[in-house]
Chains A and B, each alone.
Chain A
Amino acid sequence: MSDQTNATSKPGRAVAYGIFAFVALMIVIGLFGGQHGGLVYHPMEQFLVEPLFGGEHVAWYTPTNVTLWMAIALLVIFGLLVVGTRGRAVVPSRMQSVAELAYGFVYRMVEDVSGKDGLKFFPYIMTIFMFIVTSNMLGLLPLSFTTTSHLAVTVLLALCVFISVTVIGFVRHGVSFLKLFWITSAPLLLRPILAMIEVISYFVRPVSHSIRLMGNMMAGHAVMKVFAAFVPLILLSTGIGLVVSPLSVVAISAIYALELLVAFIQAYVFTILTCVYLRDALHPFH
């Protein structure tokens, strides 16, 4: 029993030290940064794309912070899925069980949502899921860059899904794939109207698919930075500053926990919507 209380109190103490260090760091940053007046950090500054090695011009081949964090995401995925499972132990190590968990999670999702014949496209969906979840999680590290908070990245991911799903539908079913828009279970009079709505909603798919991910990532990070900008107010030592900055430290911690959840759920939603679109392409007849 005493072992157990010891085991639980140790992480608690570590968390308390962590929070103390965080507050101290914030106050130090505020000391050096707070003299300009107004917001010290603009909340949108973190989304700027900058070349890594100086210079102004950004061409397609310039190494920027986006490419750096994409490369880090690829390395993390490689480490988890290739290096982590290298032992191929029957009783998995910690890394291997995380990799197996992710694999089984996506595999079951594809099987449940798009059916048995959707499993042919499982590698692509697994790739999408791992990339999005890793870059979302890496974006939560302090001073890091969230690649998925940029529309260019998410639009590319969503367009790849949209185009490949449409091609799969036409290859599988030929012209009769267009019956996806003709809902036979509705009354005949309503069908043309419903067809119009279905066509519009089909072409709006990549828009909502990409902006959902980008908007969630960007909004969460901007909110965290807005609260972070309130913390140096403690230096004003007026009544408002003494109340607002401890409150905003608490708020940042709470929002950070929420962001951790959002980072996973948005990757999950992106992947499950990919599975839904794939199911529509494989079985378009309602």
Chain B
Amino acid sequence: MQGDIVQMGAYIGAGLACTGMGGAAVGIGHVVGNYLSGALRNPSAAGGQTATMFIGIAFSEALGIFSFLVALLLMFAV
């Protein structure tokens, strides 16, 4: 019985942890949207900044990955 409750808590926690990925989605959308609006204003400078955009995406994606990691740990390690 007690083990069942622990497992239920772990699964609920894993589901809740996945909401963190929504934050990463918002962040990535923000980065790319701002890149696009900047690129449309000054298209000649856009090509040199795609690498910077991908670095920004990677950094904001990292925090979504941490929530994914927490979910995985709750599912398989607890």
**Chain A contacts to B: CB under 8 angstroms:** 109, 112-113, 204, 207-208, 211-212, 215, 265, 268-269, 272-273, 276
Contacts and interface: CB of A to CB of B under 8 A. Distances in A.
Interface string B55-73: 1011001100110110000
B65 A215 contact: yes
Contact of A272 (B55, B62, B66, B68): B55
B65 A212 contact: yes
Interface string B37-67: 0000000000000010011011001100110
B65 A113 contact: no
A265 B32 CA distance: 14
Contact of B54 (A207, A208, A215, A268): A268
A276 B59 CA distance: 12
B51 A273 contact: no
Contacts of A212: 58, 61-62, 65
27 contacts: A109-B51, A112-B51, A113-B51, A204-B62, A207-B66, A207-B69, A208-B62, A208-B65, A208-B66, A211-B68, A212-B58, A212-B61, A212-B62, A212-B65, A215-B68, A265-B54, A268-B54, A269-B54, A269-B57, A269-B58, A272-B51, A272-B54, A272-B55, A272-B58, A273-B55, A273-B58, A276-B55
Nearest to B58: A269
* 10 closest Cβ pairs, A-B complex: A208-B62, A269-B58, A211-B65, A212-B65, A215-B68, A208-B65, A211-B69, A215-B65, A273-B58, A269-B54
A96 B17 CA distance: 47
Contacts of B55: 272-273, 276
Contacts, number: 30
Nearest to B68: A215
B76 to A, nearest CB: 11
Interface of B: 51, 54-55, 57-58, 61-62, 65-66, 68-69
A265 B54 CA distance: 9
B65 to A, nearest CB: 5
Contacts of A208: 62, 65-66
Contacts of A211: 65, 68-69
Nearest to A219: B68
Contacts of B57: 269
A219 to B, nearest CB: 8
Which interface residue of B57, B61, B65 has the most chain A CB atoms within 10 A? B65
A203 to B, nearest CB: 13
A262 to B, nearest CB: 12
A266 B55 CA distance: 11
